[in-house]
Chain A
Amino acid sequence: EAGVAQSPRYKIIEKRQSVAFWCNPISGHATLYWYQQILGQGPKLLIQFQNNGVVDDSQLPKDRFSAERLKGVDSTLKIQPAKLEDSAVYLCASSSTSGYNEQFFGPGTRLTVL
């Protein structure tokens, strides 16, 4: 079974630029999550999708971050404009909807904002 795919793996941008990350979940997984992991901290949930609908985006900084999952499969997370404090690893995870939903994580995208 293929795992969660993310790209790019690394990205370096200057502040005020924009950036986008892509995630393809495990096939058949209806729920998709984006987490932000700042160095020295645990992952923090930014947004949770169920199919193509948003379940929870309470911790998403909506003035600069946006995410979509138009066809209920892959998803993109965008930051515009980026700030220095956005430097982090952005993790995507997915889970099925049967029973308890173990979350499977992708390799992450390491973003450095200069």
Chain B
Amino acid sequence: AQSVSQHNHHVILSEAASLELGCNYSYGGTVNLFWYVQYPGQHLQLLLKYFSGDPLVKGIKGFEAEFIKSKFSFNLRKPSVQWSDTAEYFCAVNAGGNKLVFGAGTILRVKS
């Protein structure tokens, strides 16, 4: 069965610090990879996705993620975080049938 592992459950950063959230998945075949974000009091929403092609994908609000197939990883990055990036971030994998398997999430708090 597919599984997704997110390395940190809580991350605290100061504004303007760089962000990298780790995500590893277990599945040997072709996958689609996603990062979802849930801002306080809001719905889960798609941040970015990878299907194929350029392994560096760019999403909304300055986020990007790099797919490294050999490492089964899909880490999320942002060069300079803002207070408004405070949210919970979920990595997810779709290994077939449009069924998403989510990681446990990382709660990011950005101090102003």
Q: Is A55's beta carbon under 8 Å from chain B?
A: yes
A107 and B101 CA atoms in complex are apart in Å by: 19
A46 and B100 CA atoms in complex are apart in Å by: 11
Query: For chains A and B in complex, what number of residue pairs have CB atoms within 8 angstroms?
Result: 48
**Closest chain B CB from A107 CB (angstroms):** 5
- Of the residues B32, B45, B99, contact of A48 by C-beta under 8 Å: B99
- Interface size range on A against B: 20 to 34
Interface of B is mostly: strand
Q: Is B51's beta carbon under 8 Å from chain A?
A: yes
Q: Is B28's beta carbon under 8 Å from chain A?
A: no
Is the beta-carbon distance between B104 and A45 smaller than 8 angstroms? Answer: no
Q: Is A105's beta carbon under 8 Å from chain B?
A: yes
- Quick one: given A41-B104, A42-B103, are A105 and B97 in contact (CB under 8 Å)? no
- Interface size range on B against A: 20 to 34
Q: Which of A23-65 contact B (CB under 8 A)?
A: 31, 40-45, 48, 55-56
Is the beta-carbon distance between A31 and B98 smaller than 8 angstroms? Answer: yes
**Extra inter-chain contacts (11) besides given A40-B104, A40-B105, A100-B49, CB under 8 Å:** A4-B43, A42-B103, A42-B104, A45-B101, A56-B97, A102-B46, A102-B49, A103-B100, A105-B44, A107-B43, A108-B43
